[in-house]
Amino acid sequence: MATTIRMPEVLANVTEAAVQKWLVAEGDTIEVGQPFAEIETEKAVVEYTAETAGTVLQLLIGEGDAVDVGAPIALVGEAGEVAPAFPAAEPSAASEGSLVVVPSGAAATPAETASAAASTDGRRFISPLVRRLAREHGLDLTTVQGSGPDGRIVRRDIEALLSDASAPTSAPAATATGASAATAAPAPVAPSPGLEPELIPASRMRKTIARRLAESKSTVPHFYLTADCRVDRLLELRREINAIDGVKISVNDLVVKAVAAAFMDVPEANTTWTDEGMLRHRTADIAIAVSLDDGLVTPVVRGVERLSVTALSAAIGDLATRARSGGLKQHEIEGGSFAVSNLGMFGTPEFCAIINPPQAGILAVGAARQAPVVVDGALAVGMVMTVTLSADHRVLDGALAARWLAAFVARIENPVSILA
């Protein structure tokens, strides 16, 4: 008997997800634990592995279609088994190929109707993006010939229509006499052809970043502490470690290790806020900001205090690689009490970062640079790195945050202690 595979809740509290890529095809024989699909949520792309062995009888949704968590997405059964009649899962409103139902006899606005790809039951393939563009520009979609699959109206059809309609026209000359002529407002100037601003649809990840960080800044009371670290000895230690055959670590690896060590020095700072109370964490689970083409993701390295620097470097490198290829697992992007964001490789001297709840802080790391320093009362030139701590004032008061930052600076400026 065929087993229905449903859209998994690959991340906590996610109500909708999309199949970014099928990793199997109809007719394939699969085993439990075999990669089945790449599932895209608002936060990340996660590889989903099969929980049932058998033969893939039918894939119920297409790549790129978004459906609610729990909706059927595939059928798996025995080889040669005929797939039972099963209605395909209706894509959710966020899917490019979502179905818009126009009830019989109901009045529909021009943006909600289209002749292309219309079926006899009143369902029409119109994406939310197309509907929004049509509403914004007052377009009648019944006059648009779709160029997408099955005649679907897609974004490029709307853009082509807007481009044709954007040819500059001559504004009538203003006619006025006396004082009114001197105050006549200039006619608006249309953008030159080809220079019109382009509307870029936001990905699920970008929408989530916008929503979560806006919520963070409006609901989490941030405060900031900044410190300059002498990193001459740190850079020398890195050079010595990297001189060993087969070993390659980055400054960021040492920074993350120092962050964990500082939490061992000031354990009461390793705390996060919940509605039920404050959680005191016993291990240093640190999130690392990884830049992607369409946003960023923050996979978590667990138990950093127990890892050697080389093991930590390997773990960060593995998470970053799989983050960029969409191979992260659910547990790897959840939790953590603190985060590190490093823009030093771009030459940024210093910046402030926004806390990513439920984490209680994030350390913004700038570039190591030459700067004037005072050594034994004399002016000299040294390597300095500026870091800025963004702290959640609900759990970290100023004095406690300052103690933790001082512990971090002490570890960075005495880098051998990081290796202990």
| Active-site annotation, residues | 393
> Which candidate, 155, 118, 149, 106, places its Cα nearest to that of 133?
155
CA distance 149 to 97: 10
DSSP state for residue 69 in the 8-state scheme: T
Q: Tokens 């002749």 map to which residue?
A: 115
Q: How far apart are CA 56 and CA 38, in angstroms?
A: 16
Neighbours of 236 (CB within 10 A): 12
HSE-up of residue 87 (Cα within 13 Å, Cβ side): 4
The amino acid at 154: V
What's 326-393 look like in SS3? CCECHHHHCCCCEEEEECHHHCCCCCCCCCCCCCCEEEEEEEEEEEEEEECCEEEEEEEEEEEEEEEC
- The CA distance from 385 to 94, in Å, is 43
- Calculate the CA 257 to chain-centre distance: 25
